[in-house]
Amino acid sequence: MEGGGRPSAAQAVLLAASTAITALLYSVYRQKARVVRGLEGARKVRLDGDLRAVLLEAPGRCVPYAVIEGVVQSVKETLSSQFVENCKGVVQRLTLQEHKMVWNRTTHLWNDYEKIIHQRTNTTPFDLVPAEDGAGVSVRVMKPLDATELSLETVYEKFHPSVQSFTDVIGHYISGERPKGIQETEQMLKVGTALTGVGELVLDNATIKLQPPKQGMPYYLSALDFESLLQKQESSVRFWKILTVVFGFATCTILFFLLRKQYRHHREKQHLRQMQEEFRQAQERLMNTEGGETLKNACVVCLSSTKSCVFLECGHVCSCHKCYHALPEPKKCPICRQGIARVVPLYNS
């Protein structure tokens, strides 16, 4: 603590940083908890012949947040994998990712570094249809790339290592970057994949559409079933809740430490003022009772009794007999701090 009981700059920064982190974690936790509450309140609808009738009865022919499960089916044409034969899908993502080692001048270690140098995503319109054939109902999936969780399966992955000459190796050590290679990946949402969609379900003329919700809730197109998806989000909520509690406890601990320091400083100031007041009252009492002459002969420790001891070998006369016995061992003269070898009583005539 600095003078006046104020916290130091480092302590103030630590408290502010801990408070800000706790507030940020609590905000994320509330957002995650809101998502879970939204999923728990989402209306589960079956992909069957009654779906159209359900939407006709709904206000505005719309279910604002619905859960529907079905199988992916392309509307017209499908996307073919560039690397795997007979692999058809409706969403295709091609990624080129650079891998290299970067020298950290602080830790003096080589760290892995990854960077996406190119990514392209292709889509084609697709529907969700019942797993059983012959139901005659489908749901058109709109804006699949806007989904918070879009389950894509990795169908191809290959790493192309960098070929380096001796001169390249020397140059890489000088520059602090060592290329490892390029990773090529292809991900697809394949036809026939079981998918759980969570979003706004609306009847638009003759077409049933699943699209991103308007209430700010997340849009899901997940390969997990709904119960697994809900459990995953609940686990995320518990994780952020634990982080919030831990940092909140740390913030409270820091605040308690600073308040305790300030309280102790306040108590010390009060005690000092009390001692100064007692000293002033003792001086006034001596001045009033004996006209000021007694103050010259007053004990320097208690200021209330008369000096009655001669300390040897220093020869100082500064204490009464009671205060002499109260001095801590080894006893030293209150004036010169020299050790007291013996005491001679002082008698005033």
236, burial (CB in 10 Å: exposed 0-12, middle 13-18, buried 19+): middle
Chain length of the chain: 349
What does residue 282 show for φ and ψ, rounded to 5 degrees?
-65, -40
pLDDT of 93: 95
Beta strands in the chain (DSSP E): 43-44, 62-74, 79-80, 88-104, 109-123, 126-129, 139-141, 149-150, 153-161, 177-190, 194-204, 207-211, 220-222, 309-312, 342-345
The β-bridge relationship of strands 220-222 and 309-312 is: unpaired
For 298-345, CATH number? Answer: 3.30.40.10
Measured over the CA atoms of residue 15, residue 18, residue 24 and residue 27, the dihedral's sign is negative
d(CA 16, CA 9): 10
d(CA 107, CA 176): 13
Taking the C-alpha atoms of 31, 33, 37 and 40 in order, what is their torsion angle to the nearest 10 degrees?
120
Listed by start position, the domains of the chain span 8-41+226-283, 45-224, 298-345
Would you say 209 and 75 are in contact if contact means Cβ atoms under 8 Å apart?
no
The β-bridge relationship of strands 177-190 and 342-345 is: unpaired
Q: What is the pLDDT along the chain (349 residues), one digit of tens a residue?
A: 455 567 788 888 998 999 999 999 999 999 999 999 999 999 999 888 888 888 888 898 999 999 999 999 998 889 999 999 999 999 999 999 999 988 888 888 888 889 999 999 999 999 999 887 656 788 999 999 999 888 899 999 999 998 888 887 788 788 888 888 999 999 999 999 999 999 999 998 888 999 999 878 899 999 999 999 999 999 999 999 999 999 999 999 999 998 998 888 888 888 888 888 877 777 676 666 554 555 667 788 887 778 888 888 888 888 888 888 888 888 888 888 888 888 888 776 5
Helix-helix angle 226-290:9-41, to 10 degrees: 150
d(CA 206, CA 220): 24
| Coil, helix or strand at residue 180 | strand
Contacts of 81 (CB under 8 A, 6+ apart): 87, 88, 89, 92, 155, 156, 186, 188
d(CA 103, CA 119): 27
Task: Please give the C-alpha separations between residue 257 and each of 11, 22, 260, in angstroms, as whole numbers.
Answer: 10, 17, 5
